[in-house]
Amino acid sequence: MKIIFILFVSTLLLFSKDIALDNLLAEYENSESLYHQTKEESAGHIILFSRADLDKMQAYTLNDVLKTLRMFNIEATRTGMTTLVKSGSNQAALNPVKIFINSQELNSATLGNALTQYGKMGLYFIDHIEVYQAGNSVIFGNEPGGMTIKLYTKEPARENSTSVQASVDTRSSVNLRALDAKVFGDYSYLANVDVRKNNYKTYNTNGYDMSRDGAGGQFYFKFSKKESYDIELGASKEKADSFSGLGNAPVDGFIDTKTLYLQATKHFGNDLNVILSMSHENLDVLNKDAVGITMADGATPKKFETNIGSNVYSAIVEKRLVNGANDLFLGANIKYQKFNVNKYKYDDVTTPKIWGPTELNIYMAYLENLYNINENNLIAFSAKLDHYKNDFSKSSTENILRLGYVSIINNSLTLKLFAMKSYVHPTFRQTTFSPNTNINPDLDSIKNRTLTAEIIYKMDNTTFTINGGESTAKDSIIYNPVLKQYVNKSGTTTFHRGFFRVDHKFDVNNKITLEYFKMFQDVYTSSGEGGLIQLFNKIGKLDIYNELVYRSDYKSSDGINMPAGYDYSLGVIYPINKQLELKLKGENLLDQAHEVPINGVDVPVMERRGLLTMEYTF
């Protein structure tokens, strides 16, 4: 009996030492996290997903993160892809969200919305994600966006290993991922390969099946010389069934997308950087419909084929100057975009069409000055001048002005104030090419004004955040169903928004997030309010994650009443040893996630499924 008691006490002591060691390691990893080096408090209102958060969330794709973002709803589209819609608005509304991998913007000139193209992108090579909302900084460069999503890749020096990950779900989907990172002297590289087969529920409408099953893959490679240069190469391919497509009686169809980008960054001394990049995108579409597809020109072909593509070239020069209390950032950017329509057929017959402008030159100059009044008060001023000119000889000059104030009033209270005058330029999809809408090459930019305020109050291990804002838009771009084209709406549209968030940290491994937001506007065509609950726990060796995403009921633009959405996910991670981890995840377990009506059926982005993943590090 004594021996049993001694063994029990010894085991308990060893177990408690393991937990204490794990807690110390977690605290160290948190203090050394890369986001401490990249986060810009003055750049906007931040939502941060640390590496530990992404791991415990089992966020395998960008969509796993997008669905949690306040003020936005993730939705399925008629063509089986996904998109992010501003809460209260519909999918026809222009949504200027920008996505970057490090400093490389992920363009989608063909679709006009990079989120549609990159929602299924794997995150195995991503260290952390920063989301900047409501009038974010001009230092991110390129054309402006109402929200900027920055994806930062893992550092080879921190990885210095090879790891593989394999997932299978209850719908027989399969995903294989591999990551290799090495450092040798001043040089390093990071390589990622991701291949996947995605299976979804097949819906039936009017006797016709709608499938969005597909397969794809991606590749990322970064080669660097310390404090000298970075070379990044990314490529992806995704082919999937076209779901409902452009008609209402789908017989067959697919969407095949291919992307490629290359970026080279040279780091000179004295905070001077030169960035050269190019990207290529190709979209191949086949759509067959038993009844016929109603096109913008009045034709009703039963078979529609098109192949479109784009090439984007960019050169950026950036310089930072620090003098006393002033931190000045200067930048200049030249960008050239070329759009191509390689094929356009009705019922196997090439159909001649007159398209809008296919070339666009953009010249941008910008600056931001951060003035530290003292160690607790900062004023940020930004200005940007952009000149657009297309091959139809239409040109415009736009500008951005932004003023921000950040004050650490005391150890508990922080205040953020931002005012911004900006714009949104029309896309190729609106001015140049669209099979189901008439193009409008005469569209003007939307003129936006944004005012936001945020108060952050910290009390012991709890942080309270309250935020409110007002946005006005002049010359909004809306879809006119009579003209079947996008037009500028005369007058000014105003809406308000606000959110409240509580973050409580029980200890380094256990925390909870509670969040609620609401949009205030005259008309709602998607969920106008929502909430989020995230619970991170560690019990012994088990990492447990609970998530509930709420979106309110709404009436769609077609007049269909849609119920509220409750997307509940549960994840568990068990480390078998230091090299092997077993992960289980259930998504949309209540089968009540936010849905949109498509051709007579209600469709969520995240269908109910179970997911088993194994990860091995060599």
pLDDT for residue 22: 54
Token pair of 73 as six digits? 């709803």
Contact 229, 268 (CB under 8 A): no
- 11, 50, 464, 512, 536 from 504: Cα distances, Å: 32, 16, 9, 5, 10
Number of H helices, E strands in the chain: 7, 36
Q: How far apart are CA 573 and CA 165, in angstroms?
A: 13
Q: Which residue has the tokens 């404090």?
A: 227
Kindly report, residue by residue over 351-369, the tens digit of the pLDDT.
888 888 999 999 999 999 9
Contact residues for 509 (Cβ-Cβ < 8 A; gap 6+): 22, 23, 26, 536, 537, 538, 543
Kindly report, residue by residue over 470-499, the tens digit of the pLDDT.
999 898 888 888 888 889 988 888 889 999
Structural domains present in the chain: 1-587+603-617 (2.40.170.20)
Q: What mean pLDDT do residues 371-397 have?
A: 91
Other Cβ atoms within 10 Å of 491 Cβ, number: 8
Question: Which three-class secondary structure string do you get for 549-597?
Answer: EEECCEECCCCCEECCEEEEEEEEEEECCCCEEEEEEEECCCCECCEEE
Please provide the DSSP assignment of 165-212 as one string.
EEEEETT--EEEEEEEEEEETTEEEEEEEEEEEE--PPEEETTEEE--
pLDDT for residue 508: 86
Contact 235, 219 (CB under 8 A): yes
Determine the length of the chain. Answer: 618
Reported as a pLDDT band with limits 50, 70 and 90, residue 9 is: very low
Reported as a pLDDT band with limits 50, 70 and 90, residue 97 is: confident
Other Cβ atoms within 10 Å of 435 Cβ, number: 20
What backbone phi and psi angles, to 5 degrees, belong to 11? -60, -40
Other Cβ atoms within 10 Å of 332 Cβ, number: 15
Contact 450, 473 (CB under 8 A): no
Alpha helices, DSSP H, located in 440-580: none
Alpha helices, DSSP H, located in 197-294: none
Q: How far apart are CA 23 and CA 14, in angstroms?
A: 14
Kindly report, residue by residue over 228-287, the tens digit of the pLDDT.
999 999 999 999 999 999 889 999 999 999 999 999 999 998 889 999 999 999 999 999
Q: How far apart are CA 507 and CA 492, in angstroms?
A: 48
Reported as a pLDDT band with limits 50, 70 and 90, residue 463 is: very high
pLDDT for residue 389: 93
Reported as a pLDDT band with limits 50, 70 and 90, residue 86 is: confident
Q: What mean pLDDT do residues 314-327 have?
A: 93
pLDDT for residue 162: 94
pLDDT for residue 29: 52
Q: How far apart are CA 409 and CA 106, in angstroms?
A: 38
Reported as a pLDDT band with limits 50, 70 and 90, residue 64 is: very high
Q: Which of 603, 602, 601, 605 is nearest to 205 (CA)?
A: 601
List beta partners, residue 225. 187, 229
What backbone phi and psi angles, to 5 degrees, belong to 508? -65, -25
Reported as a pLDDT band with limits 50, 70 and 90, residue 35 is: low
For the cut 70, the answer to whether the pLDDT of residue 17 exceeds it is no
Contact 551, 595 (CB under 8 A): no
Q: Which of 197, 72, 205, 218 is nearest to 131 (CA)?
A: 72
Q: How far apart are the first and last CA of the chain?
A: 43
Specify whether the backbone of 561 is left (phi greater than 0), alpha (psi in -120 to 50) or beta.
beta
Mean pLDDT of the chain: 88
461 or 108: which leads in pLDDT:
461
Q: What mean pLDDT do residues 193-202 have?
A: 95
List beta partners, residue 392. none
Token pair of 105 as six digits? 């913007």
For the cut 50, the answer to whether the pLDDT of residue 5 exceeds it is no
Token pair of 79 as six digits? 């063509």
**What's the whole-model pTM score?**
0.90
Token pair of 570 as six digits? 């549960």
Q: How far apart are CA 112 and CA 94, in angstroms?
A: 9
